[in-house]
Structure formats: structure tokens, C-alpha cells
Amino acid sequence: MEYFEKLIDKKKEFLVPCVYHFFQRPPVLVRGEGAYLFDSDGKKYLDCFSGVTVVSAGHSNPEIIEAAITQLRKLQHTTTIYLTEPMLELAETISSLTPGNLKRSFFCASGSEANEGALMLSSLATGRHEIAYLKEGLHGRTKWAINVTGLEMWRTDPNPMVTAHAIPGTRHPESLEILEELLKKRSIAAVIAEPIQGNGGIIVPPNNYWPRLRKLCSQYGTLLIADEIQTAWNRTGRWFATQHWDVTPDIITVAKALGNGFPIAAYITSDEIAAHYTRPGAATFGGNLVSCAAALATLIFHKRHNLGDRSERLGNYLQGRLQEIQARCPTITEVRGLGLMIGVELKDSTKGPAPALVDQILESLKDSGFLIGKSGVGRNVITFLPPLIIEKTEIDALLVALEKALEIRT
């Protein structure tokens, strides 16, 4: 039996059936280097999705791997009940990058867990127990995170555990008026939102949205949680996307690119809010020594190579070139994003979402050696989240392949 068929059979037999892959015949990925991935047949792909915004500093980045291996050889694991240095050094480095008074970190292992912790902290800090969230948002797989995830596709278990109120997303002009009505009527502990909704289809809010949201939350004593799990660490051209609008949330949650592939996540907050959480709170894998060493090396790499500027510059270039393609291609109804977080929305001739076309384009680009992503409420948004180390020439090659795929399919 072929290698591929053997793996698929094992997957069908041993994994919970909720695990799906992109592509009709997914490549078996065996190696990564810089912006490239390689499959078991030796085929090379330009990775334009970064394992969903994770490997911003490139696959198998030698500097990050070296830091992790050095730590691995010394001491791999202790848990937070013992005193170790890497977690403290990482917390201090993070506090030098976060906006305003956000200074204290709680480390854990995944984005869902970071959001779960942030929501719990908002309850502790306010004495309130209800949450508001945006309809096109995604915040994770744990029960509370699912309850505040608006995207229907990811609301695996729709039975609410806490009282959570969905409000229309940032594109709806009435979004904040509806939120204000809710804040007047109910005792809301926190509003949780992604600065740019990633899975929702790379939805960039109007420039005044986050400043107005900040004001409303402060006015009603509600905490503002920014889920920066996709957007942080220079993805949008800033360390944190909320910095585009000069907004300091009460809590920021991070994960994904912080460890460049090593599992690490955190919620970060102020002295004042953190002071409400004094009962013992340990996390077995929180502050894992190897993940912290890798995260520190990741942040050093980002700084040394100015990945924020690079993301902004190359993102503007990619967006501009995509807009040129849009002018020639009526199927593309919108190109949007910030930095190297870019979505291209595709609609069919009736102006309805075109998810099947997106799938065809993904397949075609995969065959040409480019792995891109998809997102959106209608799964009709081609999504570009390449490693921030990508070169301009590689973006040019991607655009040639994309244009070819669009010509063939439209």
C-alpha cells in the first residue's frame, strides 16, 4: 500500500473524525525550511499560510531551534510551581513590547486556554459573569471559548455554559450601538474581539471602531479583551494590531507566532486587573522552559530582522498587486488586510460566496507549489498569511501562479 493511503487509513481509524485537511489529496509534509515546506515525494511548496500565522520567523529557524536545543539539553520541564528563569525573562521582554500598562503575563499552552483564562480573569476582576462577542469571531475550542465564538462553523457545541451575547461584527454600522444597548441593560464582564477577524475572513474594522469600543467599555466598567492570537507579533506590521488604533485593551491574549511553532500562549494584563487573581493558579505546561527559550529567541529574531517593518512593506506590496489583479477579475469582490494578513474575497456571478471556486484555486496553487489558506463566514476568502521572512521575488512568483489559477477557473 502506498505511504499516503497508509496514513489516511490510520487517520480514519485512530483520530476523532472532526480532524479535516485542506485539499482532496493532502500532501504529506515532512520537512520545512525558511518559507518552504517539502512533502514526502520531495515536492517543494512556498508556505503562504504559516500553519495559520505560526511560523512567522520561518520553518526550522536555526536561531530559534538552537535556543530551544540548548535549553532542552539543560532542563526541559519543571511546571510553574518551581522558580525558573526563561519564563521570567520572557514575561519581562513581553512587557517591554505591550502597549500601555499591560505588563503581567499568565503563560499556558494554547490560544483557547489563553482566552479561557482571560475570560475567567474578567469575571474575577469585575464580579460580573456575562460576556459580549462579535458574530464573525473565533476564540477557540474549549467550552467557554466556543460560547463566545460567533462563527457558526466553529460553534461545535452551541449549548451556552455562560451567558454570552453575540453582537454584529465590525462591518455592521450598528455594531457598537447594539453593544451599548447591551452594556446599559446587562452586567457585562468583558467584550472579547479579534482586532482583525482572521477566520471570519480577514475583516479589518473601520479606523474608529476600536477607539469607540475602548471608550464604551471604559464607560460601562466592562473589560476589553483583544484576542491577538493571529494578529500579534508583527503579523499586521505592529507588535500588536490594536497599536494601529492606539488602543490599550485591558487584557491581550497571544499564542501562535510567539513560539514560532513551539506551543506557548499567554494572557497579558495590568497590575490592577491581575491583582484580582491571587488564588493559586498553576499550569503544568505554562512557561515551559523550552517553549519560553524558543519564544525569547523568536522575539529577538523579530527585532533583529525588523519583521514589523518587513510585514508592513511587503504586505502593502502584496495588497497593491492583488488589487491590480482584482481590476481584471470580477470574481474578486474585495482585497483587504493589514501587513502580511491579507484576504481576497471571491463571489460568483450571482454575487453569492464562491467557496467551491476558492477550493479549486487552493488545489491549483498547491499543484503549482504554493500553499495558501481560506477563511470567511462563507469560506470564500483566499487567505495569505506567509512567514514574515518571505522575499518579494517569492511573492511575485505566487502572484503569477494565482493569476494563472484565476484565469483557468473564472
Ligand X SMILES: Cc1ncc(COP(=O)(O)O)c(C=O)c1O
Residue 223 neighbours by CB distance under 10 Å: 25
When the beta carbons of 213 and 332 are compared against ligand X, the nearer one is 213
DSSP characters for 106-166?
EEESSHHHHHHHHHHHHHHHHS--EEEEETT----SSHHHHHT---GGG-SS-S-SSEEEE
Task: Give the separation between CA 125 and CA 339, rounded to whole angstroms.
Answer: 34
Among 255, 314, 357, 398, binds ligand X (CB under 6 A): 255
Q: Is position 194 an interface residue for ligand X (rule: CB under 6 A)?
A: yes
When the beta carbons of 117 and 315 are compared against ligand X, the nearer one is 117
Q: Minimum distance from CB of 112 to ligand X (Å)?
A: 3
Q: Which residue is nearest to ligand X (CB)?
A: 111
When the beta carbons of 90 and 241 are compared against ligand X, the nearer one is 241
112, 148 contact by CB (below 8 A):
no
When the beta carbons of 139 and 366 are compared against ligand X, the nearer one is 139
When the beta carbons of 150 and 308 are compared against ligand X, the nearer one is 150
Stretch of 60-68, 95-103, 191-199, 242-250 lying at the interface with ligand X (CB under 6 A) = 191-199
# residues near ligand X by CB under 6 A = 16
**Angle, CA of 199, 229 and 16, to the nearest 5°:** 60
When the beta carbons of 108 and 179 are compared against ligand X, the nearer one is 108
Q: Is position 117 an interface residue for ligand X (rule: CB under 6 A)?
A: no
When the beta carbons of 193 and 401 are compared against ligand X, the nearer one is 193
| Residues 287 to 346 in contact with ligand X, rule: CB under 6 A | none
Among 32, 34, 58, 140, binds ligand X (CB under 6 A): 140
Q: Is position 260 an interface residue for ligand X (rule: CB under 6 A)?
A: no
Q: Is position 242 an interface residue for ligand X (rule: CB under 6 A)?
A: no
Among 192, 229, 274, 389, binds ligand X (CB under 6 A): 229
| Burial class (CB within 10 angstroms; exposed 0-12, middle 13-18, buried 19+) of 25 | exposed
Task: Give the separation between CA 36 and CA 30, rounded to whole angstroms.
Answer: 11
252, 109 contact by CB (below 8 A):
no
Q: Is position 230 an interface residue for ligand X (rule: CB under 6 A)?
A: yes
Residue 202: CA atoms inside 13 Å, Cβ hemisphere, count?
A: 28
Helix 392-409 crosses helix 355-367 at what angle (to 10 degrees)? 130
Among 47, 136, 227, 250, binds ligand X (CB under 6 A): 227
Helix or strand (DSSP H, E) at 337: strand 332-338
Q: Is position 198 an interface residue for ligand X (rule: CB under 6 A)?
A: yes
Which residues of this chain interact with ligand X, rule CB under 6 A? 52, 110-112, 115, 138-141, 194, 198-199, 227, 229-230, 255
